[in-house]
Structure 1
Amino acid sequence: MTSSPESTELPIKSEGVEASPAPSQQLEKDVESNEQPKENGNVYPADALSTPRQILFIGTLCTAMFTNQVGLGNTLCTVGLIGESFGISNQGQLAWLIAGYSLTIGTFILIGGRLGDEFGNKRVFVIGMTWYALWSLVAGLAVYSTHVLFVFARVFQGMGPALTLPNGLAILGQSYSPGPRKNMSFAWFGGAAPFGAIAGFLFGGLFALAWWPWIYWSQAIALAGVAAFAAWTIPPLPVQPKRHRLLREKLEDLDIPGGLTGVAALVLFNFAWNQAVVAGWQQPYVYVCLILGVVFGVAFFCIEVYWAKAPILPLAAFNSDIAFVFACTATGWACFGIWVFYIGQVALNIGDTTAVQMAAWFIPVIPSGLISALAVGKLVGNVPASWIMVVGQVAYLVGSILATARPPHTIYWTYYFFSVLIITVGMDTSFPAAAMIFSDAVPQQYQGMGASIVMTVVNYSISLGLGFAGTIETNINNGGLTTSDKLLGYRGALWFSVGLAGLGLVLSLVFIAKSHFKSKPKA
């Protein structure tokens, strides 16, 4: 059946099941069910929405980033109190309470994006919020058990954002045509991060004053409400398959071998680095996990390049520009993860700061992060992404240097204030820029896959960076028995974050030089 241009622009919805629907009709179904739109049509439903409806639509999807950061912030500021209730004082074990959450997000986002592409982004988004709520409830109930259950609950909590983050971005990518509106929607998505972090710090500190399990029980209640609201806000049409597929074809499209080997590689490699902080590299199982992680990683890339018909990692969409962007994003967010954990440890354990004070101290991330993210939304398309990356890396470098050099008992309005203000610029310029660049680089029907790669880089870098930093800390702090030894370990980890930011700056400058010589006309 052929379709005229007019019929493509004015699709007709059908309630019945058609044996061979017109391309315009199938496209309308696919878009409204948040499934992949057809490549032969470019329908972007959000472009036609009224302004109030767009605000509601974007705001609902931004809860993915907001709740993700809440889950990080509410534990960062109370990790010492929670560890104390379980009898934990080792910094390596405490770091697991943070790293386990980010590890799971970074590991399973690729799977979450692919599930959304196959079964409907809206459906997976709602399931992710519900799953997140369930394991937040379990995290609070762990007070009646041991820290092992709490760590497991934190790990399984991370699977919630692993489903909501890529699918929230995918819905935005499918719903807006390339241009200012799409850029601003991504910017608002990234701009939700500082609000979530502050909310996590604030409510974590406040509920900890009563009883820390309420941090997670209140989170579970809120997430359940968000899941119900998202199910109502995002159009609830069922997913329509593009065509009848055999079970073998469905399994090939899911790329199960690639997913299994990729997850195994990410988990084992990250587990080795974070567990080495607790058990030490002298334990055989630690370096065995590291070796197995590398082996599974090699197997994963071999499967993706030579075997997978629908690879979970679209290597064909990669080019040197995207590789540089991702490298800068990885170093920057690893730096940020180390910075936010250890600047907090210095304030809480050395400077005797309370969790509520910590929340107040991080308030500058709201204006700084929001302005940075929205500025990127306006500048992308007019300013090369390479220069945006340079600005972000400079912010990471300056902010981490201020945190490292800060005397523990100095007043807030010197090092700490400016460190928070500046490093947030790096966080909220690198993420929106990377998301926009990669969203435009992949086909519209694979927005979930593209978004998942960006979020994998961000969250896996945070977790792995904490593993590297924890190894440095525990090897130089002489056991952390005295305040001076603890400070020595904290600063060693923070200097490592400075090194990561410096590496990212060098990479971003190389990227600019490469782009300059590439665009320079040959004589």
Structure 2
Amino acid sequence: MRQGPALAALATAQFLVVLSTSIVNVALPAVSEGLALSSGALSWVVNAYVLAFGALLLPGGRLADLFGRRRMFAAGATVFALASLAAGLAPNAAALITARAVQGVGAALLAPAALALVLLVFPPGPAPAGAKRPGRGAALGVWGAVSGAGGAAGVILSGVLTEWYGWRAVFLVAVPLAAASLAATLLLVPADLPAGGDLDVVGALTSTAGLTALVYALAAGQPLAAVAGLVLLAVFADRQRRARAPLVPPRLLRTGRVAAANLAMTLLGAVWVGLFYFLPLYQQQVLGYGAMAAGLTQLPLALTVVAASTLAPRLPGRVGLAAALTALALGLGWLALARADGTFAVDLLGPSVLVGAGLGVAFVRLTALSTDGVPPADSGLAGGLVNTTRQIGGALGLALLTALAPTAADYRTAFATTALIAVLTTAAALLTLGPSTDAHTGAPANDPTRRQQS
């Protein structure tokens, strides 16, 4: 098996599902004009995808373990491509939002299966001496890089496509990319053996319904929906303790730093989705940028994310992660001070570099920590969990931010809130990830598993 090309095929899928969260952002004003969407409905073009993606990732990860990772990868890529086509051809707002939700369903099947396949293709430990393949740590570095860069790249590509071909192109571009990733994966990655077992249907229903209710409550200001969501999530948590085949086995949350890393990833997801929703709106509706300019001015942020992701495995453990999250908070705080008549050089370039550096390192480190020490039978579930926490964090964060800052003119409130969330993420990482960590994985220096991700 050619592991380098296999990693490229799987990373392309991850890049695509992350890209699809932010690629609509620069196109939102054009979508609003073309389909006559209100400002409230406009946020659901983003949130329908993010919510369906996040709420169904846990069942998606479990299905990958039960029925085979490559099989679920193929199913997810097919659904994703067809839904992307439907979104690009949508005749009205309802059809577009529905297609985006179905696109999220496909992503929920695709993303955890892709990460599980990476963990199978690249076994624990460094690559053997003289081997021409990367070790698992390097593979996860690539994974983190495309996860972080996908958000910024989506904004850049959105600007170019919207300016040249119109807003429908931002959805249609996903069709050939999904098809290419699927074909390459089927060719390069051998079929895996399903783990077998049962799907916790009750757990899947209560977790999905509970998360959906919470996001709706924040977006629509419905206290009853919030109560219902919390009750359903409490039922889900109790179910996981009692079910014969729980959707999230308690043992998984006790493995390594899975629980702590996913807590931090939830908060980071809120920052990430909120940033790439409000930054293009600020640029277009406050600064008066066109779609092309709004996209291209994201280039420093995207390049910094990629560079930081590459350097992340070389940085010292918990200190490196804390420094990255601090840089992220400072960059967002700087954006909160941006002027209504600001310029790129003064108000955007510096914050973009800080935010890109923070996101790049944090995505790599938290992804590695969330899968550290997880046995192969749970690899799909672990991949589903870390994607779930990022996407659900994004959905909850965007719902909160659009409630606090309903228009682009409220950009200061939006950026200040994301900066506060970044501070909370830093605190969560420092308090829960342990005092002494390995430079590559974040594992304790005396932990026998410390070399698994190197």
Same fold (TM over 0.5): yes
- Alignment correspondent of 2:412: 491
**Partner amino acid for 2:251?**
A
> Which of 86, 103, 110 is residue 58 of structure 2 equivalent to?
110
Q: How does 1:459-470 map to 2 (within 5 A)?
A: 459-470=391-402
How far, CA to CA, are the matches of 2:46 and 2:29 in structure 1? 11
Q: What corresponds to 2:304 in structure 1?
A: 368
TM-score by length of 2: 0.88
Compared CA separation, residues 428 and 175, structure 1 to 2 (3 A) = same
- Tell me if structure 2 keeps the 8 A contact 1:178–1:440: no
Secondary structure at the counterpart of residue 76 of structure 1: coil
Report how far residue 469 of structure 1 moved: 0.9
Query: Which residue in the other structure is 2:210 paired with?
Result: 265
Does the 8 Å contact 2:50/2:392 carry over to 1? Answer: yes
In the TM superposition, 1:39-118 aligns within 5 A as 53-90=2-39, 92-118=40-66
Q: Distance in 2 between matches of 1:366 and 1:242?
A: 38
Deviation at 1:514, TM superposition (A): 5.7
Secondary structure of the 2:340 match is coil
Query: Is residue 326–residue 426 contact of structure 2 (8 Å, CA) maintained in 1?
Result: yes
Deviations 1:167-200 (A, max 9, x none): 1111111222223410110110111135534543
Are the counterparts in 2 of residues 396 and 501 from structure 1 also a CA contact under 8 Å?
Answer: yes
Corresponding residue number in structure 1 for 2:159: 205
Q: Distance in 1 between matches of 2:249 and 2:414?
A: 34
Q: Please state whether the residue corresponding to 2:288 is helix, strand or coil.
A: coil
Once the two structures are superposed, residues 386-436 of structure 1 have per-residue CA deviations (whole angstroms, 9 ceiling, x without a partner) of 223312320220111111111133221223112222112222222222222
1:148 aligns with 2:94: yes
Kindly, what percent of the aligned residue pairs are identical?
A: 23
Q: More displaced, 264-273 or 454-463?
A: 264-273
Tell me by how many angstroms 1:374 deviates.
2.2
The Cα shift of 1:440 comes to 2.2
1:288-367 alignment to 2 at 5 Å? 288-306=224-242, 308-319=243-254, 321-367=257-303
Task: Find out whether 1:192 has 2:142 as its counterpart.
Answer: no
What's the TM-score once normalised by structure 1's chain length? 0.77
The aligned counterpart of 2:87 is 139
Residue-by-residue CA offset, 1:308-333 (whole Å, 9 max, x unaligned): 12211122232494433322222222
Partner of 1:507: 428
- For the pair 1:418 / 2:343, whether they are aligned, the reply is no
Cα distance change of structure 1 residues 130 and 404 upon mapping to structure 2, 3 Å threshold: same
Q: Which moved more, 1:132-141 or 1:333-342?
A: 333-342
Residue aligning to 2:125? 179
- Contact 1:347/1:408 (8 A) holds in 2: no
Q: How well do the aligned residues superpose, as a CA RMSD in angstroms? A: 2.4
Deviation, 1:151, is 0.8
Q: 1:140 to 1:445 in 2, by over 3 A?
A: same
Alpha-carbon distance in 1 for matches of 2:141, 2:96: 34
| Counterpart selection for 1:454 from 369, 386, 393 | 386
Within 1, Cα distance between the matches of 2:337 and 2:15?
30
In structure 2, the CA distance between the partners of 1:322 and 1:439, relative to structure 1 (3 Å rule), is closer
Structure 2 contact 269–394 (Cα < 8 Å) conserved: yes
C-alpha distance in structure 2 between counterparts of 1:241 and 1:326, whole Å: 25
**Contact 1:328–1:393 under 8 Å retained in 2:** no
**Consecutive aligned runs of 4 or more in structure 1 exceeding 4 Å deviation:** 239-243, 512-516
Alpha-carbon distance in 1 for matches of 2:154, 2:427: 33
Task: Determine helix, strand or coil for the equivalent of 1:309.
Answer: coil
Q: CA deviation at 1:240?
A: 4.7
CA 1:70–1:326 in 2, change beyond 3 Å: closer, same or farther? closer
1:163 aligns with 2:118: no
Q: Unaligned stretches of 5+ in structure 2?
A: 127-134, 438-443, 446-454
After superposition, the Cα gap between the structure-2 partners of 1:241 and 1:457, relative to the gap in structure 1 and judged at 3 Å, is closer
Structure 1 range deviating more: 458-467 or 207-216: 207-216
Higher relative contact order (CA 8 A, sep 6+): 2
Structure 2 counterpart of 1:376, which letter? A
User: Is the CA contact 1:369–1:428 (under 8 Å) kept in the aligned structure 2?
Assistant: yes
Letter paired with 2:28 = V
The answer to whether the 8 A contact 1:112-1:166 is kept is: yes
Q: Contact (CA 8 Å) 2:54, 2:387: kept in 1 or not?
A: yes
> Bigger shift: 359-368 or 448-457?
359-368
SS at structure 2 position matched to 1:413: helix
Seen in structure 2, the aligned counterparts of structure 1 residues 392 and 229 have a Cα distance that, compared at 3 Å, is same
- Alignment check: 8 A CA contact 2:258 2:372 kept: no
Tell me what 1:392 maps to: 324
Structure 2 residue 351 is matched with structure 1 residue 430: no
- For the residues of structure 1 that align with 2:426 and 2:150, how far apart are their CA atoms? 27
Q: Which amino acid aligns with 2:388?
A: T
Asked if 2 retains the 8 angstrom alpha-carbon contact of 1:317 and 1:441, the reply is no
Cα deviation for residue 99 of structure 1 reads: 1.6
Alpha carbons 2:66, 2:195 under 8 Å: kept:
no
How far apart, CA to CA, are the structure 1 residues paired with 2:430 and 2:193? Answer: 46
2:314 & 2:434 partners in 1: Cα distance?
A: 24
1:216 equivalenced with 2:137 (yes/no): no
1:475-506 per-residue CA deviation (whole Å, 9 max, x = no partner) reads xxxxx6xxxxx52x221122111111121222
* Residue matched to 1:46: none
Give the superposition deviation at 1:152.
Answer: 1.0
2:182 to 214, 218, 227: 227
2:423 and 2:172 map into 1 onto residues whose CA distance is 40
- Cα distance, 1:218 vs structure 2: 3.0
SS in 2 for 1:254: coil
**Residue identity opposite 1:135 in structure 2:** A
Does the C-alpha gap of structure 1 residues 226 and 111 become closer, same or farther in structure 2, counting only changes over 3 Å? same
Q: 1:98: Cα distance to partner? A: 1.1
Letter in 2 for 1:439: T
The number of equivalent residue pairs is 430
